[in-house]
Chain A
Amino acid sequence: MAPPDFRRPFKRAAVSDQQRRRELTLERQAQSRHDAQQRVRNLASTIISLQSQEPDDADVVLEPYLEESEAPPKELDIRRASRMRGEQVRNWFARQLMLPEWMIDIPDNLSQDWYVFARPAGKRCFVVASNGTTVSRQRNGSILHCFPSALPNGAKTREPSGPAHSYSILDCIFHEGDQTYYVIDMVCWGGCSYYDCPADFRFYWLNSKLEESGASGPPSYYHKYRFSAVTHEKGLPAAYTDATPYVKDGLLFYNKHAHYQSGNTPLALVWKDVKCSQYVLDTDSTGQVPDQQQVVLELQEDGNLITSDDPPIIFARLNSEFIQQLGLHSGNFVRCAINDGGLSFVEGKLEKADLKYIGKCSRGRAFADSYSKVVFQHMARHSPLTYDDLLVAANKAPSDVEMAG
């Protein structure tokens, strides 16, 4: 006898797996749709688009991003991200700062097209002010401070210092000695994005806005740390020799025409020698300069050891037996020493590196070294680029216009 239509035979499965698959699929689709729409909504004009593209070779140096790149830019709401926690956010933040390459040769037109300024020693971070709070995030994504500031919307004051939804993002170095955020670049101010503006424009606005907001004033109840703009425009000798309120850590060179760009860029360069930096040669965990130069590289699936550049430079290759033996996995950061064989170059390109495996890096490490850093350190030990070399380049007249007839 058959049961009534609505009465399920008790011992039969309640839900068919097919039905379950259908439902799970619908759930996934609804979620994807919602995500897709949220992504679009977050692309509002006030929200920054962050380019993750890198130039393919250094020839573009004087042709900063005037054309739109083909690949779609990666976008995300930085304000929301600044409040979030977790590994993903950290990884995301880790990629947002513009990271100067190390100067391994001197760019053309140094005097004409480049700013130079003394880099403060301290913690490099993004400072995001919105909704009445200011949050600073270090390069590895961790939060440094969460505080009130005089930046627009940076504190919960009675009188709002800007439209409720506006926010600001500054690229800073926090200097412990005088507890000051030295602003080296401005990404957004009062809801306006400056990503796509050339450096000279950004620096000009930075100075006037910072003054106007009162953020460069002394600390107070609603303004916990002082913000101070570094002086961008004094030229090489002043940057090298003049006294600064902060401890110097090398010189930064910024191309005047370059837009703000996340990640490693050859349009911003760092250089140092013992006179302007305490830390020319890298130290190990005990603070000692090791006998041999050490490098940190990332292990790939195929055993290659690569730099953090995009595209990465392959320095060496570990065989799979060795990898297994050491218990390493793809994505691990490993520390190696450069043996006596050193680095050999052919036509300016790395040909061979004589490396010795030292060990795995601690988990806090978010990056491998960049190619330029390794080479700069190598040069610093063997044949450094000196201040005099720079000075010669800085005093050189702009290169002649080449006639094509």
Chain B
Amino acid sequence: MAMEVTQLLLNAQSIDGSVRKQAEDSLKQFQEQNLPAFLFSLSGELANEDKPADSRKLAGLILKNALDAKEQHRKFELVQRWLMLDATVKSQIKSCLLKTLSSPVPDARSTAAQVVAKVAGIELPQKQWPELIGSLLSNVHQLPPHVKQATLETLGYLCEEVSPDAVDQDNVNKILTVVVQGMSSSEGNNDVRLAAIRALYNALGFAQANFSNDMERDYIMRVVCEAALSKEEKIRLAAFECLVSIASMYYEKLTPYMNDIFTITAKAVREDVESVALQAIEFWSSICDEEIDILEEYAGEFTGDSDVQCSYFVKQALNVLVPILLETLLKQEEDQDQDEGAWNIAMAGGTCLGLVARTVGDDIVPLVMPFIEENITKPDWRQREAATYAFGSILEGPSPDKLTPIVNVALNFMLSALTKDPNTHVKDTTAWTLGRIFEFLHGSTMDAPIITPANCQQIVTVLLQSMTDVPNVAGKACGALYFLAQGYEDVGPSSPLTPYFQEIVQALLTVTHREDAGEGRLRTAAYETLNEVVRCSTEETATLVLQLVPVIMLELHNTLEGQKLSSDEREKQGELHGLLCGCLQVIIQKLGASDQTKYGFMQFADQIMGLFLRVFACKSATVHEEAMLAIGSLAYACGPEFAKYMPEFYKYLEMGLQNFEEYQVCSVTVGVVGDICRALENKVLPYCDGIMTQLLKDLSSNQLHRSVKPPIFSCLGDIALAIGQDFEKYLMYAMPMLQSAAELSAHTAGADDEMIEYTNSLRNGILEAYSGILQGFKNSTKTQLLIPYAPHILQFLDSIYVEKDMDDLVMRTAIGVLGDLADTLGSNAGTMIQNSVSSRDFLNECLSSEDGSIKESAEWTKLAITRAISA
């Protein structure tokens, strides 16, 4: 058997496809027939020094994949499977793994280190394998360098896999001691030192206690800073990565070290190789992130005693930091403008400069202006581009008061550069900068408008002209137009863009037809801008928007006229469907919002729906989602008329609800069910059996992304409200699900912010479901069916009130449910309600709420309760 496994593993890496396939099948068969023997033979293979390195490595990887998976439910299954495995087999496997750590073959050691960490990730939280850390650390100083390196690597992976609370402080101390000693300059072997630094990177999360101890922290920081000055590039890089991580994890502990760190990072940005320089810049970007968060929180709460104080590192370093960052802007790569995802020292420097501007505000302006003025007219494109980029970078952060006068001067220059500069890099950055100007300094909230009747036409003309430039410049010009339109979002009945509306729309449509529109994201940018122009349009241009409907419909129709497509073409076609459905959705939502415009639009409804149904025939996740979103808007616009589309549309609705894999599609479909319920009201009844079955399945699935569950609960409420007492037949399924979800979401003790937010969205969904059901049964003869559920609903309200962590939305929904309970059940629930905490303290709290909509709901609830009691 052992020989056979080696050969299978080698064959599985053969270049001959059929050999490979056969070997893979055999391995799979082996695994299915006898899992313990399979895993054990893999670990034996990995540990066996007589075997080829290739088969050992693959054995380790298969072992690793048998312990972990990306998808949550699969991962859970694998963990359970390992835990159920025979203890003897597991201990044999583990001893093979530990043995491999001292192998002379680097790949074998490294693979074993990863597998050990995976096993630890499963067992340590279960309080199993308690001796692991001790055995890894024993005699570490006596070990030969390659074993020491493997041990440190294992510790690093282990810290990555295991959560800090699964390791006691004593073991944490031991791990950190070994790691930090391994990092120090006294360690002669660079491989060991590198492994130690990489281990520290993962272990930082374990070091809370150690970072609170001055002496220990001093020591760790000294060693990291030393490593950042190492002659070895890899060591310097790893050390800077640690510094970046420390910047966000231990910001508040950094003060004593900032002088040294500043010197080290400044030197690295100026002199080091790009990979290291990028990390050095990233350090300052991370510091900015932290300070922006702290200052925002501080500004938001006015408590003055937020958890972390701002140390104003950026402000203090500003005079020296800004010049360093400005220098980086001159280090552009050729052709970086062609690459959307380009990342180099100039991009990183500009990004950091933007963050610095957001951190310090006005103070950055005088430091950057001389650089701009000096370089913006230079013959070398690098200087002009750098100057423009610097300007674009600092437009968010400083006050409009500070920036507007400068922009007023610069705007003409920018507009002229956009059409006349000979270099496309410069034009690209100029168009982007114009977009930033419109994004941050143009809009109804600005005191002094930068766009006036005098320059509006010129701006539009220049941007439209730029849309005929090379794709990247044209795309950025579309982006600028996007923000130009957005600034007029709430301009009132008359928009300054109205005179140009038709011209703009025509230019954007022309862009979408360019032969090179597929380059970069030009076509996408053009449609996105078209969408925004439509969204922000006013009544004046409603007829023009209406005229756009058949145009976009024709585009969609043409893409559906199928020739046989290659998979590449199919993908492109799918993208285009998405863009066109998205555009139609925006138009439908716009025209559907007012009765006057809706009337004109409805003549197209049949044809549009026909096109959407044809789009569904093509398989692509994003297209389904876009068409689904658009159908939701159509249902909203059509109202009861939508019923005629249901027979054909229903199967796609069901397919959407079944799409666990692409949870966004599922989520959007759930929303559309709500739209349809509101549009059709009780005419939705014939479809409810199918929809309810699917929704209840979704709720009980552990494969479906959790974010879809709250909207599903709300959707149950939509259905109940639409069909009223006909919801009776679903009560016995829906109510227990709501009840158990309510119990789970009642308490949040120990949860982090993200979990509390999710719990609140879940509560809101559950409460909306209760509201819909209660309201649906109101005035029916079957209200008594709900009486048995009332105590639980009240208990749920009481317990979330007592928990004191509701957000405003949940509060509004919750107090409304209390009223619905009283309103629907009347005197049947009077005493019950009177005895609840909610009807007194919670109601009073809501009645005195500063939030108008909570107060309004509460007043209604009070009325409903008064009636229920006096009835």
Instruction: Tell me the A residues contacting B by CB distance below 8 Å.
Output: 1-4, 7, 9-13, 16-18, 21-22, 24-26, 28-29, 32-33, 36-37, 40-41, 43-46, 163-165
Contact = CB atoms under 8 A, between A and B. Distances in A.
A28 B589 contact: yes
24 contacts: A1-B278, A2-B341, A2-B343, A3-B343, A4-B282, A12-B341, A17-B524, A17-B527, A17-B528, A18-B622, A21-B582, A21-B585, A21-B586, A25-B632, A29-B632, A32-B678, A33-B674, A33-B717, A36-B678, A36-B718, A37-B768, A37-B816, A40-B721, A43-B778
Interface of B: 274-275, 278, 282, 285, 340-344, 347-348, 350-351, 354, 393, 428-429, 432, 476, 479, 524-525, 527-528, 531-532, 578, 582, 585-586, 589, 622, 625-626, 629, 632-633, 636, 664, 668, 671, 674-675, 678, 714, 717-718, 721, 768, 771-772, 775, 778-779, 816, 819-820, 823, 860, 863-864, 866-867, 870
B803 to A, nearest CB: 23
A41 B774 CA distance: 11
B396 to A, nearest CB: 10
Given A11-B432, A21-B629, A43-B778, A37 B721 contact: yes
A257 B788 CA distance: 43
Contacts of A28: 589, 633, 636
B823 A41 contact: yes
Nearest to B856: A38
A32 B677 CA distance: 11
A2 B348 CA distance: 11
Contacts of B717: 33
B772 to A, nearest CB: 7
Contact of A10 (B350, B674, B718): B350
B290 to A, nearest CB: 13
A10 B347 contact: yes
Given A11-B432, A37-B721, A32 B772 contact: no
B768 A33 contact: yes
Nearest to A42: B860
A7 B282 contact: yes
Given A25-B629, A37-B721, A40-B721, A9 B678 contact: no
A12 B347 CA distance: 11
B767 to A, nearest CB: 11
The B interface is mostly helix, strand or loop, or mixed, namely helix
Contacts of A32: 636, 674-675, 678
A12 B340 contact: yes
Contacts of A46: 867
A352 to B, nearest CB: 30
The A interface is mostly helix, strand or loop, or mixed, namely loop
Report the 8 A-B pairs with minimum CB-CB distance, sorted nearest first. Answer: A17-B528, A3-B343, A40-B775, A10-B351, A165-B863, A1-B343, A29-B671, A11-B432
B347 A9 contact: yes
B585 to A, nearest CB: 6
A21 B779 CA distance: 38
B351 A7 contact: yes
Contacts of A18: 578, 582, 622, 625-626
A36 B721 contact: yes
Contacts of A1: 274-275, 278, 343-344
A29 B721 contact: no
Contacts of A21: 531, 582, 585-586, 626, 629
B341 A3 contact: yes
B629 to A, nearest CB: 6
Nearest to B853: A34
Which of A11, A12, A26, A43 is the most central at the interface, judged by chain B CB atoms within 10 Å of its CB? A11
A36 B816 CA distance: 13
Contacts of B582: 17-18, 21
Given A1-B344, A12-B340, A29-B671, A17 B823 contact: no
Nearest to B671: A29
Nearest to A72: B681
Contact of B532 (A17, A33, A36): A17
Contacts of B633: 25, 28
B671 A7 contact: no
Contacts of B476: 11
A7 B354 CA distance: 12
Contacts of A26: 671
Contacts of B626: 18, 21
Contacts of B532: 17
B667 to A, nearest CB: 9
A24 B531 CA distance: 12
Nearest to A46: B867
A110 to B, nearest CB: 39
A37 B528 contact: no
A33 B721 CA distance: 10
Contacts of B347: 3, 9-11
Contact of A3 (B275, B348, B820): B348
Contact of A41 (B629, B675, B714, B816): B816
B343 to A, nearest CB: 4
Contacts of A45: 867
Contact of B343 (A9, A29, A37): A9
B844 to A, nearest CB: 16
Given A9-B342, A25-B633, 12 more contacts: A1-B275, A3-B343, A3-B347, A7-B282, A9-B340, A10-B347, A13-B479, A22-B664, A29-B632, A40-B775, A165-B866, A165-B867
B471 to A, nearest CB: 14
A10 B671 contact: no
Contacts of B863: 44, 165
B860 A41 contact: yes
Given A10-B350, A43-B778, A44-B867, A29 B674 contact: yes
Contacts of B768: 33, 37
A41 B819 contact: yes
Contacts of A33: 674, 678, 714, 717-718, 768
Contacts of A36: 678, 718, 721
A235 B577 CA distance: 74
Nearest to B772: A37
A17 B582 CA distance: 9
Contacts of A41: 775, 816, 819-820, 823, 860, 864
A379 B444 CA distance: 58
Nearest to B860: A41
Contacts of B819: 41
Contacts of A16: 528
B590 to A, nearest CB: 11
Nearest to B859: A165
A18 B589 CA distance: 14
A222 to B, nearest CB: 24
Contacts of B820: 41
B341 A44 contact: no
Contacts of B350: 10
A1 B622 CA distance: 28
B497 to A, nearest CB: 18
Contacts of A44: 823, 863-864, 867
A140 to B, nearest CB: 20
Contacts of B525: 13
Nearest to A25: B629
Contacts of B779: 43
Contacts of B351: 7, 9-10
A118 to B, nearest CB: 40
A25 B525 CA distance: 20
A22 B629 contact: yes
A163 B771 CA distance: 26
B856 to A, nearest CB: 9
Contacts of A164: 866
A8 to B, nearest CB: 8
A305 to B, nearest CB: 20
A29 B633 CA distance: 9
Contacts of B428: 11
B772 A22 contact: no
A36 B488 CA distance: 30
